[in-house]
């Protein structure tokens, strides 16, 4: 059994290393390249324009990292009169470390629906929300927040682009390595995977077990033809490691 870890950046490599140390063969092959977003220079002015009590929502750790680095480079401090938000526990902890401010996040359902269920999000009349995110992505949070009375501004902190890989050689390499479990942590990675592998090679791909981080991604994977799809309890490496070790220990 071999696990293909497609999560980009150092977290993907860390997970692959951890799996290998546990005796589970894992390859790290990121399908997306992460680079600074086109709107980062607007971040200081966007933060300055917010009123006390307005909100800043970081969609991911990547958004936090690029935003924090931009502010550090110019000596701009995170404000202490704003409400900071994140979707997941790990992102919230990381956001807290960078802002030195409390970060609110859903304790149970780590997605946009869970965030919108927080008591602070019930009435957003006259609130401004600055969303720190990557290019593209889901619009559900912004749409519902606007329906509840908020003014929402989206700021692209990072860009995801498909990694340049040779389709035929990559497919052959993965098959030679015995890959039969795929870890895919975003919609963009799933789409990049299917765009990369030639159609004539995709049956092998669809026969693999696909592990992902949300029911939304799982549903999309099934619609593409994946038969065995598993959803981890969370998107952090600890939960992914647990799910992958469970699967590889099955007879």
pTM confidence score = 0.85
Topology adopted by domain 35-160 = Rossmann fold (3.40.50)
- Residue range 2-31+165-249, CATH number: 3.40.50.10090
Give CA angle at 181 (177, 186), nearest 5°: 120
* pLDDT for the residue 111: 85
What is the tens place of the pLDDT at every residue in 78-100?
A: 999 999 999 988 899 999 999 99
Task: Determine the Cα–Cα distance for residues 240 and 235; give it in Å rounded to an integer.
Answer: 7
Q: How many CB atoms lie within 10 A of CB 168?
A: 12
Nearest to 26 by CA among 211, 197, 179, 232: 179
Mapped onto helix, strand or coil, the DSSP state of residue 57 is: strand
* Domain definitions of the chain by residue range: 2-31+165-249, 35-160
The pLDDT score that the predictor gives to residue 136 is 80
CA-nearest of 61, 4, 56 to 28 is 4
Distance CA 119, CA 104 (A): 10
Q: Which residue in 247, 240, 248, 246 sits closest to 214, CA to CA? A: 240
The pLDDT tens digits of the residues spanning 189-235 come to 999 999 999 888 899 999 999 999 999 999 999 999 999 999 998 88
pLDDT at 15: 97
The answer, yes or no, to whether residue 251 has pLDDT greater than 80, is: no
Overall residue count recorded for the chain in this entry: 251
Residues of the chain with pLDDT > 70, as a percent, come to 99
Q: Per residue in 108-123, pLDDT tens? A: 888 899 999 999 999 9
Quote the pLDDT of residue 154.
97
Q: Do domains 2-31+165-249 and 35-160 have the same CATH topology?
A: yes
Helix (H) or strand (E) holding 124: none
- Listed in sequence order, the residues at least 6 apart from 113 whose beta carbon sits closer than 8 Å to its beta carbon are 140
pLDDT in tens, 54-77: 999 999 999 999 999 999 999 999
């Amino acid at each position: 059994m071999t696990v293909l870890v497609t999560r980009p950046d150092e977290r993907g490599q860390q997970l692959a290393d951890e799996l290998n140390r546990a005796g589970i063969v894992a390859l790290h092959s990121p399908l997306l390249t992460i680079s600074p977003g086109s709107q980062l220079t607007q971040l200081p002015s966007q933060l300055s324009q917010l009123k006390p009590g307005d909100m800043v929502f970081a969609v991911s750790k990547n958004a936090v990292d690029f935003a924090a680095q931009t502010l550090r480079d110019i000596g701009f401090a995170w404000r202490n009169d704003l409400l900071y938000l994140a979707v997941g526990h790990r992102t919230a902890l990381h956001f807290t470390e960078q802002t030195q401010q409390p970060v609110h996040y859903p304790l149970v359902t780590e997605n946009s629906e869970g965030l919108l269920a927080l008591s602070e999000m019930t009435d957003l009349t006259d609130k401004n929300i600055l969303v720190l995110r990557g290019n593209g992505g889901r619009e559900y949070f912004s749409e519902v927040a606007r329906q509840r009375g908020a003014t929402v501004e989206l700021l692209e902190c990072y860009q995801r682009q498909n990694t340049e890989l040779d389709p035929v050689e990559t497919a052959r390499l993965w098959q030679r390595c015995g890959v039969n479990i795929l870890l895919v942590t975003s919609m963009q990675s799933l789409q990049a995977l299917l765009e990369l592998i030639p159609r004539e090679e995709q049956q092998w791909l669809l026969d693999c077990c696909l592990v992902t981080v949300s029911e939304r991604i799982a549903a999309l994977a099934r619609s593409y033809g994946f038969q065995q799809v598993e959803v981890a309890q969370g998107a952090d490496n600890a939960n992914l490691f647990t799910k992958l070790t469970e699967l590889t220990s099955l007879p």
